[in-house]
Amino acid sequence: DTAVSQTPKYLVTQMGNDKSIKCEQNLGHDTMYWYKQDSKKFLKIMFSYNNKELIINETVPNRFSPKSPDKAHLNLHINSLELGDSAVYFCASSQVSGVNSPLHFGNGTRLTVT
Amino acid sequence: AQTVTQSQPEMSVQDAETVTLSCTYDTSENNYYLFWYKQPPSRQMILVIRQEAYKQQNATENRFSVNFQKAAKSFSLKISDSQLGDTAMYFCAFMNPPDKLIFGTGTRLQVFP
């Protein structure tokens, strides 16, 4: 049973296109996140949602639009893709912030923009 | 703003030996949590160990243990009896609830037979 699943695993697309990455968690967690890992492996938070409500938006370009239809899903839509958007995008979830509910990560989506 | 620093970009160790990965952080908060995550070549992010700042006792999980020095803001990870499967990127991370998890830049660990 996959706790946090994201699709697709790989995404190759051309500049200017619009694409979406989907994320679902079956852990019953209230909070979900999107993290971006760049080519140097640096992980940085992009967004977090708690019970469908946006609580963190880390100065991400507005070409990136997260959508949470319910607390088990947090999708990421990216408009007008740029070369610099190439990265691995991780979805994660937690019950509440803290040590008793650390983040559970999905397996990542490798986005390549050509 | 909180920051997390991992000063060792790469480390190597022979299997069955012990290795220590360094992590320091900067915060003015008193209540926070610290984590080590492992990222093997499969790309999956796996929680290795966690520590509450208010606990003085160092956390231990099987072969993994931490040396938490709150005053020095240091949180190192010790891997005992290293195994080939320990080869991975290791990320130190800081969280001041209910804020975000902040990661260090990672240490690439290679375990040699």
Cβ contacts of A96 within 8 Å, gap of 6 or more: A30, A31, B97, B98
Q: Express each pLDDT in B17-39 by its tens digit.
A: 999 999 999 998 888 999 999 99
Q: Name the residue of chain B whose CA is nearest to A33's CA.
A: B100
* Whole-number Å distance between alpha carbons of B1 and A61: 21
Q: Express each pLDDT in B36-55 by its tens digit.
A: 999 999 899 999 999 999 88
Q: What is the pLDDT of residue B107?
A: 98
β-pairing, B107-112 vs B10-14, is parallel
Whether A4 shows a pLDDT value over 70: the answer reads yes
* Whole-number Å distance between alpha carbons of A79 and B88: 33
Q: What is the pLDDT of residue A52?
A: 83
Q: What is the pLDDT of residue A22?
A: 97
Contact residues, chain B, for A55 at CB < 8 Å: 98
Q: What is the pLDDT of residue A51?
A: 83
Nearest to A105 among B45, B51, B98 (CB): B45
Q: Which of B64, B108, B104, B103 is nearest to B87 (CA)?
A: B108
Higher pLDDT, residue B105 or A50? B105
Residue A39: how many CB atoms within 10 A of its CB? 8
Q: What is the pLDDT of residue A34?
A: 95
| Angle formed at CA B109 by CA B63 and CA B42, multiple of 5 degrees | 90
Q: In the structure, what pLDDT confidence band is assigned to residue B5 with cuts at 50, 70 and 90? A: very high
Q: What is the pLDDT of residue A97?
A: 52
Whether B91 shows a pLDDT value over 70: the answer reads yes
Chain B interface mutation, best of A41, A42, A46, A49, highest count of B Cβ atoms under 10 Å: A41
Cβ distance of B105 and A42 shorter than 8 Å: yes
Taking the CA of residue B103 and the nearest CA in chain A, the distance in Å comes to 6
Average pLDDT in the B14-18 region? 97
Q: What is the pLDDT of residue B98?
A: 66
When mean pLDDT is compared across A6-20, B6-20, B96-110, the lowest value belongs to: B96-110
* Whole-number Å distance between alpha carbons of B23 and B25: 7
Taking the CA of residue B38 and the nearest CA in chain A, the distance in Å comes to 11
Nearest to B95 among A43, A58, A97 (CB): A97
Q: Express each pLDDT in A60-103 by its tens digit.
A: 899 999 999 998 999 999 999 999 999 999 999 988 654 567 88
Q: In the structure, what pLDDT confidence band is assigned to residue A1 with cuts at 50, 70 and 90? A: low
Chain B interface mutation, best of A27, A90, A94, A97, highest count of B Cβ atoms under 10 Å: A97
Q: What is the pLDDT of residue A81?
A: 97
* Whole-number Å distance between alpha carbons of B113 and B103: 29
Arithmetic mean of pLDDT over chain B: 94
SS3 of chain B: the string is: CCEEECCCCEEEEECCCCEEECCEEECCCCCCEEEEEEECCCCCCEEEEEEECCCCCCCEECCEEEEEECCCCEEEEEECCCCHHHCEEEEEEEECCCCCEEECCCEEEEEEC
* Dihedral Cα B11, B26, B1, B33, nearest 10 deg: 80
Q: What is the pLDDT of residue B83?
A: 97
Q: Are A4 and A74 in contact (CB under 8 A)?
A: no
